[in-house]
Amino acid sequence: MRNKIKEAKMRLLKMHFESGIGHIGGNLSCLDTLMYLHHRVMKPQDVFVLSKGHSAGALYVTLWSMGRLSDEDLTRFHADGTMLAGHPPPNWIPEIKFATGSLGHGLSLSAGIALAKRFKGEGGNVYCLLSDGEWNEGSNWEALIFIAHQKIENLTFIIDNNGLQGFGTTKEVADLGSLAGKLRSFSLRVDEIDGHDLDSIAGAFSNTPSGPRAIVAHTRKGNGVSFMENAMEWHYLPMSDEQYRQALKEVGGR
């Protein structure tokens, strides 16, 4: 798994460098969790929703690592006419159900899918990945009320808690205090984990609690690349040639 994640990081950096596109920091903060979830947890009947749509690159590379997208597909990332847009467009492959990235919508969509599965007697779980800054959106709290009231047991949502959003730290922009504490007040099972430690990630997903569940993954924006880590500007910036070479070296590439 560690080798797969290293290869995925290198491919993510290559894809973003060749396309000249930013949003690298938030992709690197969630990639470990995305890879573990897709390779070790999800079954064919499960559904994944990427609420933080600006991390589409991490999702594309994860699907590439599973053979669902090709190298040629990734070369068209963010190009004119591509299906691999900066935010994921829906309905062209089964793994992408919705266009997301207008933040705050993914959890409501996930809750709807999970409840529909219950009504229809279908198996499978629903997984949703959100950002921490996304919880500034009121629609997430409305979804949470709905999830708790309906006791939607086949839903797990993961928060990529990297502490940074578009215009500063989450504490500076709109401090929510302890997200985990607030989620627990809705009677959710909440696991707090190191989102870059595979044992910690595995431990959270191995739990099978009754009732809805949240995982708060404490992460670092730009994880694994020294000049990107915990730096807000890597929400936006593309890499120069020199930065790309350094980033590849630091994640174990050539």
| Cβ(52)–Cβ(26) below 8 Å | yes
- pLDDT computed for residue 254 by the predictor: 59
Distance CA 172, CA 48 (A): 31
Domain positions in the chain: 2-250
Distance CA 12, CA 14 (A): 5
pTM beyond 0.85: the answer is: yes
Give domain 2-250's CATH superfamily: Thiamin diphosphate (ThDP)-binding fold, Pyr/PP domains (3.40.50.970)
| Strand 168-169 with 164-165, pairing | antiparallel
Q: Which two tokens stand for residue 93?
A: 């492959």
In terms of C-beta distances under 8 Å and separation of at least 24 residues, what long-range contacts does 249-253 make, across chains too?
Answer: 250/224, 250/225, 250/226, 251/6, 251/9, 251/10, 251/13, 251/224, 251/225, 252/6, 252/9, 252/10, 253/10, 253/13
| Cβ(214)–Cβ(157) below 8 Å | yes
Burial of 119 (0-12, 13-18, 19+ CB in 10 A): exposed
Hey, what amino acid is at 209?
Answer: P
| Cβ(48)–Cβ(95) below 8 Å | yes
- pLDDT computed for residue 92 by the predictor: 86
Count of CB atoms within 10 A of residue 199's CB?
A: 9
Hey, what amino acid is at 215?
Answer: I
Query: How does pLDDT run along the chain (254 residues), one tens digit per residue?
Result: 999 999 999 999 999 999 999 999 999 999 999 999 999 999 999 999 999 999 999 999 999 999 999 999 999 999 998 999 989 988 888 899 998 988 889 999 999 999 999 999 999 999 999 999 999 999 999 999 999 999 999 999 999 999 999 889 999 999 999 999 999 999 999 999 999 999 999 999 987 766 789 999 999 999 999 999 999 999 889 999 999 999 999 998 65
